[in-house]
């Protein structure tokens, strides 16, 4: 076994994480769910969602049979909702093509919706004891520093070079401890800021530590001005209820329930008359809500409108009237929940 892998394994066995809810199991469903939830999300945020999700959907069959709204409602607040839609779609694929049993073959795993090479590798390792490399964000950071790999890891040639390291360093045995160890090092010691190098098992050979390049490795995503966007959310109020409409998928917040949106308040009356057959009376606006996405920042202006007359079309599928207290528990984006909480308090 190479020295790198041996040190990672030894460290993991004595100092790594061993009591996470999805550890000490070979249940591919639980491992898959944890890997999807952990994509771009910290363990501390995932743990309560993971428990609630399993309580509602304890196996693949129950997830596949559930309406998408129920799945998205449990995911609400965790973000990156395409993960939930893909999870649901993959569960149905497993039921249809694999008789409800999570596939063991790597090619079958990686072909499921929402599962890339690294996630498939982690599932194969932890559920089936397979010998597969991984390369998630934490592992990229460990490799960049340990081997002095310059450049942004998201760049194709840099990522390809890192996959080369991931494959070459894979030990012949103890792959589970090695894989978990890489994850634990990135999450607990080799962190983005203030890494604890003095406790790292790789410190003796770490290029970044030796050359004082820890702060510069891995290279950050090349900076571009973050686009600023704005929208007006129409809070249509009637008999202590508000109107929500289902957003189309794919897209931002696809499949979630949200308030109707327009680009400019000047268009509100005409849009509401045409889209909903609604006549309204303005009741002011709540404070703006600011929400950040990966690729842009969004400013939301919530406009309060009292419905004075209404045609039946807002009772059609894709629209629902709920009290703010009930709407908070629906499958809604985080900014919509923030607005509803303000309304509920008011």
Of the candidates 294, 288, 323, 147, the residue with the CA atom closest to the CA atom of residue 227: 294
Q: Are residues 312 and 199 in the same domain?
A: no
Query: For residue 143, is it within any domain?
Result: yes
User: Is the bond leading into 250 cis (omega within 30 degrees of zero)?
Assistant: yes
Residues 6+ away with beta carbon under 8 Å from 135: 117, 118, 121, 143, 159, 162, 163, 166
Q: What is the count of structural domains for the chain?
A: 2
328 and 200 inside one domain: no
CB neighbourhood size of 165 (10 A): 20
* Residue 236 backbone dihedrals phi, psi, to 5 degrees: -80, 120
> Does residue 209 belong to any structural domain of this protein?
yes
Query: Is 178:145 a contact under the CB 8 Å cutoff?
Result: no
Residues 314 and 188 placed together within one structural domain of the fold: no
Q: Give the residue from 216, 247, 267 where a domain finishes.
A: 216
Of the residues 216, 247, 265, the one at which a domain ends: 216
Q: For residues 284 and 304, give the distance between their C-alpha atoms in angstroms, rounded to a whole number.
A: 5
| Confidence at residue 213, expressed as pLDDT on a 0 to 100 scale | 96
Question: What is residue 314's predicted lDDT score, i.e. its pLDDT?
Answer: 55
Q: Catalytic site residues?
A: 35
The reply to whether 32 and 164 lie within a common domain is: yes
Same domain, 45 and 134: yes
β-pairing, 261-262 vs 278-285, is: unpaired
Looking at the structure, tell me whether residues 318 and 257 fall in a common domain. yes
Q: Are 244 and 202 members of one domain?
A: no
Give me the CATH number covering residue 133.
1.10.340.30
The answer to the question of residue 222 being in a domain is no
Q: Among the three residues 169, 194, 216, which one is the final residue of a domain in this structure?
A: 216
The CB-based long-range contact list for 73-77 (8 Å cut-off, 24+ gap) reads 73/329, 73/330, 73/331, 74/49, 75/49, 75/331, 76/256, 76/330, 76/331, 76/332, 76/333, 76/334, 76/337, 77/49, 77/334, 77/337
CA dist., res. 152 & res. 220, Å (int): 6
- Note whether residue 221 is domain-resident: no
Q: Are residues 287 and 172 in the same domain?
A: no
Are 211 and 246 members of one domain? no
Q: Are residues 18 and 66 in the same domain?
A: yes
Same domain, 125 and 69: yes
Which CATH number characterizes residue 234's domain? 3.90.79.10
Name the one residue in this structure whose structure tokens are 């520093």.
145
DSSP symbol at 121: H
Domain that holds residue 305: 228-345
Q: pTM, whole model, 2 decimals? A: 0.85
Helical H runs in 170-315? 175-184, 207-210, 268-276
Residue 182 Ramachandran class (φ > 0 left, ψ -120 to 50 alpha, else beta): alpha
**Tens-binned pLDDT, residue by residue, of the chain (346 aa):** 579 999 999 999 999 999 999 999 999 999 999 999 999 899 999 999 999 999 999 999 999 999 999 999 999 889 889 999 999 999 999 999 999 999 999 999 999 999 999 999 999 999 999 999 999 999 999 999 999 999 999 999 999 999 999 999 999 999 999 999 999 999 999 999 999 999 999 999 999 999 999 999 999 988 888 899 999 999 999 988 999 999 987 788 988 999 999 887 777 777 777 777 778 888 887 899 999 888 899 999 999 999 888 776 555 668 899 999 899 988 999 999 999 998 877 6
Q: In terms of domains, do 130 and 234 share one? A: no
Helix (H) or strand (E) holding 287: none
């Amino acid at each position: 076994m190479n020295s790198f892998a041996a040190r990672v394994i030894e460290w993991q066995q004595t100092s790594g994480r061993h009591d996470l809810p999805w550890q000490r199991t070979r249940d591919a469903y639980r491992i898959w769910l944890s890997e999807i939830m952990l994509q771009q999300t910290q363990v501390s945020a995932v743990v309560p969602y993971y428990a609630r999700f399993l309580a509602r959907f304890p196996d693949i069959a129950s997830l596949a049979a559930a309406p998408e709204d129920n799945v998205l409602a449990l995911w609400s607040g965790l973000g990156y909702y395409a993960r939930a839609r893909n999870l649901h779609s993959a569960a149905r694929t497993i039921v249809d093509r694999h008789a409800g049993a999570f596939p063991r073959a790597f090619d079958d795993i990686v072909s499921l919706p929402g599962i890339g090479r690294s996630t498939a590798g982690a599932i194969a390792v932890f559920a089936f004891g397979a010998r597969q490399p991984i390369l998630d964000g934490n592992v990229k950071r460990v490799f960049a520093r340990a081997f002095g790999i310059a450049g942004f890891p998201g760049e194709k040639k840099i990522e390809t070079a890192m996959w080369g390291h991931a494959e070459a360093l894979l030990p012949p045995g103890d792959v589970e401890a090695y894989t978990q160890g890489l994850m634990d090092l990135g999450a607990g010691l080799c962190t983005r800021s203030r890494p604890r190098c003095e406790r790292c098992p790789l410190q003796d050979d770490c290029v970044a530590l030796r050359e004082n390049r820890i702060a510069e490795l891995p290279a950050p995503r090349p900076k571009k001005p973050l686009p600023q966007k704005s929208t007006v959310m129409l809070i249509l109020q009637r008999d202590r209820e508000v109107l929500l409409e289902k957003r189309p998928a794919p897209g931002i917040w696809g499949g979630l329930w949200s308030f109707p949106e327009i680009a400019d308040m000047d268009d509100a009356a005409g849009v509401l008359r045409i889209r909903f057959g609604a006549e309204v009376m303005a009741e002011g606006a709540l404070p703006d809500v600011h929400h950040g996405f990966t690729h842009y920042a969004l400013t939301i202006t919530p406009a309060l409108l009292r419905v004075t007359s209404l045609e039946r079309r807002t009772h059609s599928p894709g629209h629902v009237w709920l009290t703010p207290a009930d709407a908070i528990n629906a499958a809604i984006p985080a900014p919509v929940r923030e607005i509803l909480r303000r309304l509920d308090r008011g």
